[in-house]
Structure 1
Amino acid sequence: MRRQIIVLFCSLFWFAVPALRAQEAVQQPVQQSARQTAPNRGALFKVAQNGHTLYLFGTIHVGAPDFYPLEERVLGALERASVLALEIDPLADPGRMAQAVQQYGMYARGAGSAQGALPAPYRPRLERLLRQYALDADTVAGMKPWLLASVLTVSEFSAQGYDTALAVDAWLARQAHQRKLPVLELESPESQMALFDRMTADEQSRFLQEGIDAIDDHQQASQAREIADAWRNADAAALDALARKAADDDTFSGRFVQRMLLDARNPALADGIAALLARETDSLAAIGVLHLVGTNSVPELLRKRGLAVERIY
Structure 2
Amino acid sequence: MYLFGTMHVGVPAFYPLEPRIAEAVANAPVLALELDPNPSPFAASRAVDKYGTLPKDAAGGYAELPEKKRAFLDEEIRGAGMDPRNAHRLKPVLLAALLSVAEYEKLGYRPELSTDRELARMARANGVPIVELESLDSQLDMLNRLAPPDQWRFLDESLDSLESGAQRKEARNVVDAWGSADRHALDQVAQRTAADNTLAGRFTREVLIDGRNVVLASKLNDLLEKHNGAVVAIGVLHLLGERGVPALLAAHGVTVERVY
TM-score normalised to the size of structure 1?
Answer: 0.79
**Structure 2 match to 1:20:** none
Q: 1:205 aligns with which of 143, 149, 152?
A: 152
> 1:208 offset after TM fit, Å?
1.0
1:230 positional shift:
0.4
Rounded Cα–Cα distance in structure 2 between residues aligned with 1:209 and 1:236: 32
Q: Select which of 214, 232, 238 maps to 2:179.
A: 232
- Is residue 131 of structure 2 the alignment partner of residue 184 of structure 1? yes
CA shift for structure 1 position 111: 3.6
2:114 alignment partner in structure 1: 167
Q: 1:286 aligned to 2:221?
A: no
Q: Percent same amino acid at aligned positions?
A: 42
Alpha-carbon offset, residue 200 of structure 1: 1.3
After superposition, the Cα gap between the structure-2 partners of 1:83 and 1:112, relative to the gap in structure 1 and judged at 3 Å, is farther
> Would you say the 8 A contact 1:117–1:205 is kept in 2?
no
- SS of residue paired to 1:307: coil
Which structure shows the higher strand fraction?
1
In structure 2, distance between residues paired with 1:277 and 1:137 = 45
Is the CA contact 2:9–2:111 (under 8 Å) kept in the aligned structure 1?
yes
* Deviation, structure 1 residue 207: 1.1
Q: Distance in 2 between matches of 1:155 and 1:146?
A: 14
Q: Which residue of 2 aligns with 1:157?
A: 104
Mapped to 1, the partners of 2:116 and 2:80 lie a distance apart of 24
Q: CA deviation at 1:180?
A: 2.6
1:226 CA displacement = 0.7
- Per the alignment, residue 24 of structure 1 pairs with none
Indicate the residue corresponding to 1:260 in structure 2.
207
Work out whether 1:309 is the aligned partner of 2:246: no
Q: Deviations over 1:252-278 (max 9, x none)?
A: 110001110111111110111111111
Q: TM-score, normalised by structure 2?
A: 0.94
Contact 1:113 1:144 in 2 (8 A): no
Q: Distance in 1 between matches of 2:119 and 2:81?
A: 30
Q: Which of the residues 142, 147, 150 maps onto 2:89? A: 142
In the alignment, the residues of structure 1 paired with residue 138 and residue 26 of structure 2 have an alpha-carbon distance, to the nearest angstrom, of 30
The reply to whether residue 115 of structure 1 matches residue 62 of structure 2 is yes
1:249 paired to 2:219: no
Structure ranking higher in helix proportion: 2
Change (3 A) 1:222 1:229: same
| Number of residue-to-residue matches in the alignment | 260
- The Cα shift of 1:135 comes to 2.4
- How has the CA–CA distance of structure 1 residues 73 and 114 changed in structure 2, closer, same or farther, with 3 Å as cutoff? farther
SS in 2 for 1:264: helix
Select the residue among 33, 46, 71 that pairs with 1:99: 46
- 5+ residue gaps, structure 2, are none
Asked whether the 8 Å contact 1:57–1:286 carries over to 2, the reply is yes
Any idea what the Cα deviations from partners look like across 1:272-304, whole Å, max 9, x if unmatched?
111111101221000011111101211111111
For 1:156 and 1:110, how far apart are their aligned partners in 2? 31
Cα separation, 2, equivalents of 1:260 and 1:235: 26
Deviates more, 1:108-117 or 1:268-277: 108-117
Separation of aligned partners in 2, 1:306 and 1:256? 29
